[in-house]
Amino acid sequence: MAARYDRIAAELRAKISRGAHPAGWRLPAETELAAEYGANLGTVRRAMATLEAEGIIERRHGVGTFVKEKRQRISRSSERYQWEKNRTPLSDEDRRRTGATEFDTGLELQDLRFSARYQTVSADSDVAEAMSVKEGTPLLRRTYETRRVGENAPLGIATSYLLLDLIEGNSDLLDEAKEPWPGGTQHQLSTVGVEIDRIDDRVTARPATISEATALDVRPGEPILALRKTSIDTHGRVVEVADIVWPGDRIELHYPTRLARWAK
Amino acid sequence: MAARYDRIAAELRAKISRGAHPAGWRLPAETELAAEYGANLGTVRRAMATLEAEGIIERRHGVGTFVKEKRQRISRSSERYQWEKNRTPLSDEDRRRTGATEFDTGLELQDLRFSARYQTVSADSDVAEAMSVKEGTPLLRRTYETRRVGENAPLGIATSYLLLDLIEGNSDLLDEAKEPWPGGTQHQLSTVGVEIDRIDDRVTARPATISEATALDVRPGEPILALRKTSIDTHGRVVEVADIVWPGDRIELHYPTRLARWAK
DNA sequence: GAGTGGTCTAGACCACTGT
DNA sequence: CAGTGGTCTAGACCACTCC
């Protein structure tokens, strides 16, 4: 026997998915729904909480409850890596014209704002293992936030780690005021003679932690798409590890794979 | 001012992440926690619901509440695509020995059980668009569930669509009793002369729908990792579209990218 | 100020699990 | 059967938004 709040949720879910209520439509007040279903307010509120967790409705304090508009997903393609590499030999001016995020479909450079923060830290066990260095090794930690113009919450947050002793040959690389750096990390590393050979992406989904929920302006527990990006140079060294997180409903990661042809 | 349930949740979260309580440790009963914090039972329960959504604790009806053990993630690499292609010319016996999921790290063939269900359907608008065919085009829909031996809930569920008029040259391809097919879909398609040239993966994260929650044995709203896989043959035709879903905490998708070397 | 969703309490009873 | 989490009610009051 399904719980009462499940039946209320199911009924509303069915109405919405059947298209009876378009996106943006305002639902009756919770007290009205309670009267309508002959249920207690708390029971109705629990049903609403379920639908909200499913991403079907949006509750706005003091305003009302609405059928949620589908947010447009940004697409991010792994082809950006080769594209970025191809641009490292270009002039500063050429590199300045477009960024990697603009390369991915959907957005233009002027629609986006970046912010960067640099800190020197020592490697914790997780990053140390990913970079094959000893725990405590000095690193440069760089935190990037990407925002759409007019939006308060960032689209995504990237945390990148570089080996400090690899990059100290170029003091510009330690200066966050030089961001956004035309040509991105691959160009930054090329200034100290590093050529990236391979980039390893590992993608997971998990509930937002409290701090992610705060930073990305989503509810705790809401699905997060997390990418651990590991860059390996032509000498087989791990030269960058980056963790990137997005609210699950804002991103699509695109990975094309070309296969070798059959021998004739 | 943080809500009371937020403070209770924060306190417990801190204790757990500080390592004061190991994985598997049983928390005090909710009534005890209520007394301890001087709060109402409902308030404590709300705090627990938050921690449960974050994946930190697990509540078992009639038993108690426990610090959640981290589930081991299965890794699935895009290298499986080329690996599978390389095996299409091999003998039936050779192909039978290992499957693509065994290729990915972590599991052995004997630890896994597959089940398949075939149905002929007509293309809905979403799949029709993905395959560049008209809505209503006849398709073979194949649903696969992968289970670890001894586990009830599937690891993941795959729904694959093939163009019926492409495969009807080989009636074995319409027979679900032939599953698991040694060599997988790429070999199946090779029997009707199709060579895959390119596979496009699109990865998203989203809350589990009600039906996914039931099928995968997770809570509604829990993070799901979803993959839309599109296979394109050497003539540029979309020959397979597959949707694969996993509980977010069970899978890691691995995508290596090799970059072209700089010209000397 | 009216109306909305958000928090919290107090208490009853149900449903599941292990002994 | 004891002890746990799950459901539901009734009602008070708060916090936010908009007019």
Provide the pLDDT for residue A92.
Answer: 83
Per the listing, tokens 């097919």 go with B181
Which residue of chain B comes nearest to A87, CA vs CA? Answer: B262
How far apart are alpha carbons B29 and B43 in whole angstroms? Answer: 14
Whole-angstrom Cα distance, residue B72 to residue B222? 17
Contact A220 B81 (CB under 8 A): no
A30 touches A48 (CB < 8 A): yes
B225 vs B109: which has the higher pLDDT: B225
pLDDT in tens, A117-163: 999 999 999 999 999 999 999 999 999 998 887 777 889 999 999 99
Paired sense of beta strands A57-60 and A64-67, if any: antiparallel
Separation of alpha carbons A197 and A213, rounded Å: 34
The pTM (predicted TM-score) of the whole model is: 0.91
Cis peptide before A89 (omega within 30 of 0): no
User: Residue A20 — pLDDT band, cuts 50, 70, 90?
Assistant: confident
Query: Measured CA to C1', what is the nucleotide nearest B52?
Result: D5
Q: Do B207 and A53 count as a contact with CB atoms less than 8 A apart?
A: yes
Least confident interval from A97-106, B126-135, B211-220:
A97-106
Kindly state whether A249 is in contact with chain B, defined as any CB-CB distance less than 8 angstroms: yes
Give the closest-approach CA distance of A97 to chain B in angstroms.
22
The pLDDT value given to residue A108: 65
Alpha-carbon distance B169 to nearest alpha carbon in chain A (angstroms): 21
Distance CA A241, CA A229 (A): 6
CA–chain centroid gap for B190, Å, is: 26
Give the whole-angstrom CA distance, residue A19 versus residue A45.
22
Cβ burial of A137 (10 Å; 0-12, 13-18, 19+) is: middle
Residues of A in contact with B82 (CB under 8 A): 257, 259-260
Nearest CA in chain B to A190: B262
Residue A250 DSSP code: G
Q: Which of residues 24-43 of A touch B (CB under 8 A)?
A: none
Nucleotide nearest to B41 (CA to C1'): C9
The confidence score (pLDDT) of residue A105 equals 59
Instruction: Give the separation between CA A207 and CA B247, rounded to whole angstroms.
Output: 11
Protein CB footprint (7 Å) on chain D nucleotides:
2-12, 15-18
CA distances for A50 relative to A16, A27, B8, B259, angstroms = 14, 15, 22, 45
Give the span between the Cα atoms of A64 and B126, in whole angstroms: 32
Q: Does A13 lie at the interface with B, CB-CB under 8 angstroms? A: yes
Confirm or reject contact between B106 and chain A (CB < 8 A): no
Contacts with A, B 153-192, CB within 8 Å: none
CB contact under 8 A, B200 and A73: no
Query: Which nucleotides in chain C lie less than 7 Å from some protein C-beta?
Result: 3-12, 15-18
Cβ atoms of B80 and B145 within 8 Å: the answer is no
* Contact assignment for B206 to A89 by CB distance below 8 Å: no
C-alpha to C-alpha distance for B188 and B182, rounded to whole angstroms: 9
What are the angstrom distances between the C-alpha of A254 and each of A123, A127, A201, B147?
30, 25, 11, 27
What pLDDT, in 10s, does the model give residues A162-205? 999 999 889 999 999 998 898 889 999 999 999 999 999 999 99
Quick one: tokens of B39?
């709060």
CA distance B240 to chain A (A): 14
How high is the pLDDT of residue B84? 92
Confidence of residue A71 (pLDDT cuts 50, 70, 90): confident
3-state SS record for A55-124? CCEEEECCCEEEECCCCCCEEEECHHHHHHHHHCCCCHHHHHHCCHHHHCCCCCHHHEEEEEEEEEEECC
Residues B173 and B190 sit within 8 Å (Cβ to Cβ): no
Residues 6 or more apart whose Cβ sits within 8 Å of residue B196: A259, B81, B85, B186, B189, B231, B232, B233, B234, B239
> Three-state SS for A252?
strand
